[in-house]
Structure 1
Amino acid sequence: MRKEVSIALLNLADTNPKFVFLTGDLGFMAFEDLQAKMGERFVNMGISEQNMISVAASLAQDGNLPFVYSIAPFVINRPFEQIRNEMGMHNLPVKIVGNGGGYGYGIMGSTHHCLEDIALMRSVQNMQIYLPTYNTDVEEAVAQMALDPKPNYLRLNNSENRPENVGAFDTFRQLSKGSKGCVIGAGPVILNVVALNQKHNLDLSIWAIGKIPIIDLPSQLVADINHNKKVITIEEHFKAGGIGELVSLEILKNTAINKDQLKWESLVANGYPSGNYGDQKWHQEENKLGGQALLNALEQFQNL
């Protein structure tokens, strides 16, 4: 999604003179055109992510619209204190763009993976999280972020273009209709379910979450849950603080959902069960988030 976010930011540079871009010495072969267009409003902050967040917060305090970019673990985990204190507590519209959430950086290993970013950002006051499913969602997400007066986190990953039959980027979207189980996920990992559903005729109702926090569950999703009586969540993220916990709480609170005999399962990243590293698809399959392992998990879920 780096290409798509670069194009979206180029468009923003044309329309918003308050837009400032800060990078933590990353973005090679992605942001050269943006740098040329923005001039002194494009700042390479070097490998100093904590300082980058502090500078961005100061720029926001002065009325600017700063976007900060790095790979997800470097721009979320490393400067978390500054995100919490300077962005969240002061409710400043700094926009964090983290590339490669989950296992996105594959063979580069655990230091470059980010499996706890959603949990961390959910814990920050006033934070709004944007989770594009498709490449095509990125431009719409960036446009929404530019208008959002709150601090934001945009989680990027490898994906594909959006089919014509799927609606615009939103908090919830139904990607597929079905009557043999309801699957809810966030980010491009949900597309692994879509592909298996189509190939193996699993007849699953599939939903993608695009934005957090969630205000309420859509009525169609509530109807699907009541009809299917089975819910499984999937996320390229640790269980703690992730999508599964969020959705289960929303289901528990929703009085329109019949909880009697409701079957529940969650598929999450479990780190590195074998102690080995591979590319993103390899890690997904090892954690039942892709490939044959995911198919087995979905079929087992349907037999609950």
Structure 2
Amino acid sequence: MRIQFCDAMVERAAANENMLFLTGDLGFMALEPLQSAMGSRFINAGVAEQNMVSVAAGLSRQGFDVWAYSIAPFCYARPFEQIRNDVTFHKLPVRLVGNGGGYGYGVMGPTHHAIEDYGVMLCLPNMSAYIPVFDEDLAPVVARAGASDLAIYLRLGRGEKPKGYAVPVYAPWRQLTQGGGQVVIAVGPLAGSYIEAIESLPQGARPNLWAVSELPLEHNPMPPELWEQIVQTGELCVAEEHVRRSGLGSEVALHLADRGVALRRFHHLYARAHHFDRYGSQSFLRRQSGLDADSLLAVLASG
């Protein structure tokens, strides 16, 4: 998604001379067009993410449209205190962009995995998270994030639509498959990785797959159609490339309980661990966590 993100930012920069972009010495072989378009407004803050976030907060306080970029764990984990104290406590609309969310940097090990990122960030006040599903989502997501008066965490991953799939128009919630089965809610690009497997099922058993791209639920309520499907089936599966604690699964379960919705079955697929005996690609680590399409189908078939 970095290329599509760069394209969207180049377009935004051309229309907004007040925009500044900070990078923690990352983005090479991807963000050069943005650097060329922005000139001195593109700032390499160096390998100093805490300082970068504090500088971003100060620039935002002066009225600039500020975006700060790094790979995901260096974007939210290393400068967490600065995000908390300098950005969110002062209600500043700094846009933090983390590349390689989830197990995106798989072979580089747990220091480079971001599997608790949006849960950590959404514990802070005045914060929203955007987790695009498809490459095509980046232009509308950048526009929506840029128009928000909240601090933003934008988690970039890898678009995983099936070959020939027509991506629906962007919305915070989108139904990607339809059938007579239970409801599946998947966060971000993980949803795209399930489409082909779910579409292979008979219509009567085929789950209704929903993709969510904006959190928390208080800023982005579930649509009425989704509510109706959950109530009618009494079954729900939430899948996310994020640890169980503070993820969407627990937020949805609490959301339903608060409203008196009792489910017959609730499944939660999530990132199981930071540490594994062996490391491999993002797909490999998803299989290790039971987040791949085959694991999803097996869970749904088990009842």
Partner of 1:172: 173
Other-structure match for 1:297 = 299
Relative distance call for 1:283 and 1:14 in structure 2 (3 A) is same
Match of 2:113 in 1: 113
- What is the letter of the counterpart of residue 250 of structure 1? H
Distance 1:98 1:244 in 2: 22
Aligned residue number for residue 207 of structure 1: 210
- CA distance in 2: counterparts of 1:165 and 1:187, whole angstroms: 13
Q: CA deviation at 1:166?
A: 2.0
Q: 1:22 to 1:254 in 2, by over 3 A?
A: same
Corresponding position of 1:89: 89
CA shift for structure 1 position 117:
0.3
8 A contact 1:285–1:294 mirrored in 2: no
1:219 aligns to what? 224
- Of 235, 242, 265 in structure 2, the residue corresponding to residue 237 of structure 1 is 242
Matched length: 297
Structure 2: 5+ residue stretches without partners: none
Shift in Å, 1:208:
1.1
SS at match of 1:189: helix
After TM superposition, give the deviation of residue 274 of structure 1 in Å: 4.3
Q: Residue type of the partner of 1:166?
A: P
| Residue type at the aligned position of 2:102 | G
Cα contact 2:180–2:208 (8 A) shared by 1: yes
What is the CA deviation profile of residues 41-62 of structure 1, one whole-angstrom value per residue up to 9, with x for unaligned ones? Answer: 0000110000000000000000
- AA of the residue aligned to 1:123: C
User: Partners of 2:259 and 2:177 in 1: how far apart?
Assistant: 23
| Structure 1: runs of 5+ lacking an equivalent | none
Per the TM alignment, residue 167 of structure 1 is displaced from its structure 2 partner at its CA by 3.0
Task: Tell me, in whole angstroms, the C-alpha distance in 1 between the residues paired with 2:161 and 2:239.
Answer: 20
The amino acid of 2:187's aligned partner reads A
Tell me whether 1:153 sits opposite 2:153 in the alignment.
yes
Deviation at 1:272, TM superposition (A): 5.0
Question: 2:290 aligns to what?
Answer: 288
Alignment match, 1:76: 76
Alpha-carbon separation, structure 2, partners of 1:31 and 1:217 = 34
The CA distance in 2 between the partners of 1:35 and 1:90, in whole Å, is 29
Secondary structure in structure 2 of the residue aligned to 1:104: coil
Residues 1:247 and 2:252 aligned together = yes
Q: Do the aligned partners of 1:57 and 1:92 also contact (CA within 8 Å) in 2?
A: yes
Residue type at the aligned position of 1:264: F
- SS of 2:290's equivalent? coil
Structure 1 residues 64 and 165: CA distance shift in structure 2, 3 A: closer
Give, in angstroms, the shift of residue 263 of structure 1.
Answer: 1.0
Specify whether residues 192 and 164 from structure 1 end up closer, same or farther in structure 2 by C-alpha distance, changes over 3 A only.
closer
* 1:201-251 residue CA offsets vs partner (Å, 9 max, x unmatched): 450011111111223321101110122211010000000000101111221
Contact between 1:97 and 1:153, CA under 8 Å: does it hold in 2?
yes
Distance in 2 between residues matched to 1:210 and 1:188, nearest whole Å: 9
2:143 is matched by which residue type in structure 1?
A
CA contact (8 A) 1:288 1:297 kept: no
Contact map agreement 2:126 2:150 (CA 8 A) in 1? yes
Assess, with a 3 A threshold, how the Cα gap between structure 1 residues 294 and 217 changes in structure 2: closer, same or farther.
closer
CA drift of 1:175 comes to 1.1
Cα separation, partners in 2 of 1:110 and 1:119, compared to 1, 3 Å = same
Counterparts in 2 of 1:223 and 1:291: CA distance versus 1, 3 Å: closer
User: Which residue identity does 2:193 align to in structure 1?
Assistant: N
**8 Å contact from structure 2 (residues 160, 190) kept in 1:** no
Structure-2 change in CA distance of 1:272 and 1:22 (3 Å): closer
1:279 is matched by which residue type in structure 2? S
Q: Aligned-residue CA RMSD in angstroms?
A: 1.6
User: How high is the TM-score relative to the length of structure 2?
Assistant: 0.94
| Distance in 2, Cα, partners of 1:106 & 1:274 | 11
1:146 is displaced (CA, Å) by 1.2
TM-score, normalised to structure 1's length?
0.93
